[in-house]
């Protein structure tokens, strides 16, 4: 969902699409945006939104990449120059720090996490030096307020990995 609660995006993994909806601010009713669902993805599994609401980051589990989209005023996505960006190990989730300067993916098959620095102006991603170890089958990612800590559920291990973020 966008920070202003205007749009909702859904990853449709087995349809290789993302769906986009506008949200009625009075009733909460969803209306599909013209052109949705949008294609060009390979098993999208998770969507994250930049803090300013201008960009969407989509984990492409089938291609081990992260696709980045700018968002028009009507909510429709357009892939940015350079996207998709190479990731690792079939990312099953994607999450962004509160400041929007770092993005992480949980890599289900490699049992680790990938980190990216984010160019806040262009939304381009640059991979951090090495993957970070996690438990078996990491899936969900959540940050505490101010992104001081990150927690990752490890679906195949029945555990949670915790990380300090600096």
pLDDT in tens, 9-43: 999 988 999 999 999 999 999 999 999 998 778 89
Class of domain 7-164 as given by CATH: mainly beta
pTM of the shown model: 0.89
**What does the chain look like in DSSP terms, one character per residue?**
--TTS-EEEEEEGGGTEEEEEEE-TTT--EEEPTTPSB---SSEEEEEE-TTSSEEEEEETTTTEEEEEEE-TTS-EEEPTTPSEE--S-EEEEEE-TTSSEEEEEETTTTEEEEEEE-TTT--EEE-SS-EE-SSSEEEEEE-GGGSEEEEEETTTTEEEEEE--
For tokens 């589990």, what's the residue? 61
First to last CA, the chain: 26
Confidence of residue 118 (pLDDT cuts 50, 70, 90): very high
Q: Give the length of the chain.
A: 166
The angle subtended at Cα 164 by Cα 159 and Cα 166, nearest 5°, is: 155
Report whether pLDDT(160) > 90: yes
Average pLDDT over the chain, rounded to whole?
91
């Amino acid at each position: 969902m966008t920070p202003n609660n205007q749009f909702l995006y859904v990853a449709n993994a087995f349809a290789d699409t993302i769906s986009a909806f506008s949200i009625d601010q009075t009733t909460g009713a969803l209306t599909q945006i013209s052109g949705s669902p949008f294609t060009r993805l390979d098993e999208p599994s998770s969507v994250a939104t930049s803090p300013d609401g201008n960009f969407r980051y989509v984990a492409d589990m089938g291609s081990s990449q992260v696709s980045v989209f700018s968002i028009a005023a009507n909510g429709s996505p357009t892939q940015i120059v350079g996207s998709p960006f190479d990731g690792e190990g079939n990312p099953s989730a994607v999450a962004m720090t509160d400041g929007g300067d770092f993005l992480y993916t949980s890599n289900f098959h490699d049992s680790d996490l990938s980190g990216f620095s984010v160019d806040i102006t262009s939304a381009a991603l640059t991979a951090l030096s090495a993957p970070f170890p996690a438990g078996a089958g990491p899936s969900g990612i959540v940050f505490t307020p101010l992104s001081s800590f990150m927690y990752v559920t490890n679906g195949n291990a029945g555990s949670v990995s915790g990380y300090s973020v600096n």
